[in-house]
Amino acid sequence: MEYGDWMLTVRERGNGSTRLDGRHPDGAAWTRGNDVRPLVHGATYFAELLRSVRAQRAGDLLMFTDWRGDPDERLDGPGTEIGTVLGEAASRGVIVKGLVWRSHLDGFQFSESENRHLEEELEEAGAECLLDMRVRPGGSHHQKLVVLRHPGRPERDVAYVGGIDLCHGRNDDVSHVGDPQALPFASAYGHRPPWHDVQLALRGPAVGDVEAGFRERWDDPSPLSRSPLVRLRELVSHEDTDADAVPPQLPDPPACGSHTVQVLRTYPNRLLRGYPFAPDGERSIARGYLKALRRARALVYVEDQYLWSPNVVESFARALRDRPELRMVVVIPSFPEQDGRLTLPMNLVGRISALERLRRAGGDRLAVYGLENHAGTPVYVHAKVCVIDDVWAAVGSDNVNLRSWTHDSELSCLVLDESADGRPPTDPGGLGDGARRFARDLRLKLSCEHVDAGAADAPYTPNELCDPVKAFDAFAACARALDAWHEGGGRGPRPPGRLRTYRPPDMSTPVRTAVMPLYRLLVDPDGRPIRFRRHNAF
């Protein structure tokens, strides 16, 4: 397997101003010898994060970024609130540095006050947390990472990257009964919305890449906000707006595993003054997908919060058109998180258009599902995962839409495993790359949960799902049985599994015409330079 067949080269990243690739001694755009573990569900991630932070001592370094942070969100029971745990680390002498999106106003259902409270609580405890609004108008910092470094103990160094925020609503587990500290949400999900999400734990040299990306943002000399009103508020409230120096970056942790990792980002073409580390923006997440999809032959497996934008899904549609044997499985939320009279159609119109394009390209080789827990409550899919042919795997903060691929800041990790997986089929794509253990295990872990594989009454075993065609058919059969059970009034034993066939709601042409401009302006804006937009290039 050639890594350059699946991963971006330095040139293909398209951002010569970042120090991310130039820091590698071998000149590669990725690092080898990492150990990567998927942490499925917020409860899994939070429990591990708690143990890792509490093991830090004076002189260690903790860096994090977030879209939303709730200081009172519990990682694992009373006394483990985010603000408390990070504050206690600072009081022990751990150097704690955070960048949290300042957020739009709470009146628009964002997280302004929560993020400000986290900043205030951490600053009072001796940490440094900055509210970062260095984004395009209407944009956000959506990256979710935590990096823990340990001078003299590099074997303990770890980075966490994925879709899980340090906030309310995320602390759910495999039972999907929801986080006791819930967020206001669409009524379909009940008072305690079930939540499906994924984070990665990385050890090895890739930790240095994630840290380097954090430092690029931390060292940006631009003001945290260009709004005169915000800067006046910063002055009046004595808010910390100057990033203090961080100790020099340590050497990368030593190799410890078989995983090759590439760190990809999205940064927009920021108006007036660009990022010093990405003056024209960076769209390497989009480019990474485009490159990998050209090699897709057997199965593209996607879990995504949105799956919007015909401009973005065209790359998936092209793969389906060009490869008549290719199948695509998509797991998305059954309902948007907002159900207002205006916000609901704005959130739906992009998905409806995107799915229509995929359906025209793939026909019955495209399968789209929502999830529910065993009580029948819909599960909100917040995961951002893609696995192609059991070779290439991506997990990050980015969704499949223009906002994530061009407009907001995002962070994703691509993982290729040097270890081949010997279970048949040993080369699903037929290109000689062979099935890879990490990608296949990730897909199976997620798939087995969705079809209840391994349960006493399950018709499928995990090994049967290795075959892309059998996995595709197993999802269809599982959803068909559960749909029929619900349509029959829920009589008799509930079939195994959690999959429901996703059926896009009807939307009339006049409604589509009316809401499409709002969708493009507010919901799924385009952050590319004009020359890229003209050709739908990234």
The residue ranges of every structural domain in the chain are 3-259
- Confidence bin at 372 (pLDDT 50/70/90): very high
Average pLDDT in the 412-441 region? 98
What are the tens digits of pLDDT across the range 242-254?
999 999 999 999 9
Q: Are 284 and 8 in contact (CB under 8 A)?
A: yes
Determine the residue type at 55.
A
- Confidence bin at 112 (pLDDT 50/70/90): low
pLDDT above 90: percentage of residues in the chain: 89
What are the tens digits of pLDDT across the range 509-526?
999 999 999 999 999 999
**Comparing C-alpha atoms, which of 146, 183, 186, 150 is closest to residue 167?**
183
Task: With H, G, I as helix, E, B as strand and everything else as coil, classify residue 162.
Answer: strand
Beta strand 195-196 pairing with 259-267: unpaired
Task: With H, G, I as helix, E, B as strand and everything else as coil, classify residue 316.
Answer: helix
- What pLDDT is attached to residue 105? 53
Element (H, E) at 411: strand 410-417
pLDDT above 70: percentage of residues in the chain: 98
Q: Are 388 and 397 in contact (CB under 8 A)?
A: no
Q: What is the dihedral of CA 239, 245, 246, 250, to 10 degrees?
A: 170
Q: Are 333 and 380 in contact (CB under 8 A)?
A: yes
* Rounded (to 5) percent helix, strand, coil in the chain: 35, 20, 45
- Indicate the CATH number of 3-259 among 3.30.870.10, 3.40.640.10, 1.20.1250.20, 3.40.190.10: 3.30.870.10
- What pLDDT is attached to residue 461? 86
Q: What is the pTM of this model?
A: 0.96
- What pLDDT is attached to residue 458? 77
Strands (E), 327-403: 327-331, 366-372, 378-381, 385-388, 392-396
What are the tens digits of pLDDT across the range 335-359?
999 888 888 898 899 999 999 999 9
Spacing of C-alpha 395 from chain mean position: 6
- What pLDDT is attached to residue 109? 46
Q: Are 144 and 100 in contact (CB under 8 A)?
A: no
**Half-sphere exposure of 474 toward its Cβ, with a 13 Å CA cutoff?**
25
Q: Is the pLDDT of residue 374 over 50?
A: yes
What are the tens digits of pLDDT across the range 1-40?
899 999 999 999 999 999 999 999 999 999 999 999 999 9
Q: Is the pLDDT of residue 49 over 50?
A: yes
What are the tens digits of pLDDT across the range 264-311?
999 999 877 899 999 999 999 999 999 999 999 999 999 999 999 999
Average pLDDT in the 58-86 region? 97
- Residue 152 is given by DSSP the state T
Other C-beta atoms lying within 10 Å of the C-beta of residue 326? 24
- What pLDDT is attached to residue 111? 55
Q: Is the pLDDT of residue 393 over 90?
A: yes
**Half-sphere exposure of 304 toward its Cβ, with a 13 Å CA cutoff?**
22
Scan for tokens 């986290």, then name that residue: 118
Residues 207, 512: Cα–Cα separation, whole Å: 44
Taking all residues of the chain, what is their mean pLDDT, rounded to a whole number?
A: 94
What are the tens digits of pLDDT across the range 468-506?
999 999 999 999 999 999 999 999 999 999 999 999 999
Q: Is the pLDDT of residue 154 over 50?
A: yes
Indicate the angle between helix axes 343-362 and 310-322, nearest 10 degrees.
Answer: 20
Q: Is the pLDDT of residue 46 over 60?
A: yes
- What pLDDT is attached to residue 107? 46
C-alpha to C-alpha distances, 321 to 297, 326, 428, 502, 505, nearest whole angstrom: 11, 9, 18, 22, 25
C-alpha to C-alpha distances, 197 to 46, 288, 459, nearest whole angstrom: 12, 21, 25
What are the tens digits of pLDDT across the range 198-212?
999 999 999 999 999
Beta strand 392-396 pairing with 410-417: antiparallel
Q: Is the pLDDT of residue 316 over 70?
A: yes
Average pLDDT in the 430-436 region? 97
Determine the residue type at 252.
D
Number of H helices, E strands in the chain: 15, 18
Query: Looking at 113-117, 407-411, 436-440, 461-465, which range is the least confident one?
Result: 113-117
- Confidence bin at 106 (pLDDT 50/70/90): very low
Q: Is the pLDDT of residue 238 over 90?
A: no
Residue by residue, DSSP assigns 59-74 as T-EEEEEES-B-TT-B
- What pLDDT is attached to residue 108? 44
Q: Is the pLDDT of residue 113 over 70?
A: yes
